[in-house]
Chains A and B, each alone.
Chain A
Amino acid sequence: KAGVTQTPRYLIKTRGQQVTLSCSPISGHRSVSWYQQTPGQGLQFLFEYFSETQRNKGNFPGRFSGRQFSNSRSEMNVSTLELGDSALYLCASSLYGTDTQYFGPGTRLTVL
């Protein structure tokens, strides 16, 4: 089976812009979660989607949003980018009802 894929792998934006990141889960996986990794805060949970519904949300401002499509693919959006949003954004997928999450390679976002 193909693993979790994320596009793009690298992105450079300027402050105030918005960005959309994409994630395709492992075939058959219906849950998609997003995480942010920064040197200072480590790996932090953003949100989780299952069957196009957000089931859980971390402690991030409303500028961070996401959605899931009927084919389980997911996108996350960050509006009004700030310098502190520079991070590695990771997507993970899992089967319904299990907790083993499998991660994609991540999208490295740099905000200038």
Chain B
Amino acid sequence: DQQVKQNSPSLSVQEGRISILNCDYTNSMFDYFLWYKKYPAEGPTFLISISSIKDKNEDGRFTVFLNKSAKHLSLHIVPSQPGDSAVYFCAASAVQAAGNKLTFGGGTRVLVKP
């Protein structure tokens, strides 16, 4: 039972344009969401997070939007740069649950073309 889903396995975008990555979740207990970027054979790098009490969080070129009623979040990268080419994972956790446990989506591979 996949509680966090990233339905697009890959995305190709031109340098300078916007990259939009989507993520859906089913568990209504999730109240904290994160996006990570990952290169092969390396650990995920934290990008940005959002709490369920917000609907938007911005950090530089990265903006995360949360639609709680639709159980959907998205990551916008503007402008996209070649160095953004990587696999992006969305993750969710339930703060009220005991301990830290992240549930990850399957990832979206982003290719930014120069």
Contacts and interface: CB of A to CB of B under 8 A. Distances in A.
B53 interface: no
Interface residues of A, number: 27
B32 A99 contact: yes
Interface in A33-85: 33, 35, 42-45, 48, 50, 55-56, 58
Contacts of A100: 34, 46, 49
A90 B44 contact: yes
Contacts of A4: 43
B101 to A, nearest CB: 5
B104 interface: yes
Contact of A105 (B36, B42, B91, B104): B42
Contacts of A103: 36, 43-46
Contacts of B49: 99-100
A105 B98 CA distance: 26
User: Could you tell me the dominant secondary structure of chain A's interface residues?
Assistant: strand
The CB with the most chain A CB atoms within 10 A, among B34, B42, B43, B89, is that of B43
Interface string B91-113: 10101011111111111000000
Given A43-B104, A99-B32, A99-B34, A48 B99 contact: yes
Nearest to A53: B99
A50 B99 contact: yes
A108 interface: yes
Contact of A106 (B43, B45, B46, B93): B43
Given A42-B104, A103-B46, 4 more contacts: A94-B100, A100-B49, A102-B46, A106-B42
**Which 8 A-B residue pairs are closest in the complex by CB-CB distance?**
A55-B99, A56-B99, A103-B43, A43-B104, A48-B99, A99-B32, A103-B44, A56-B101
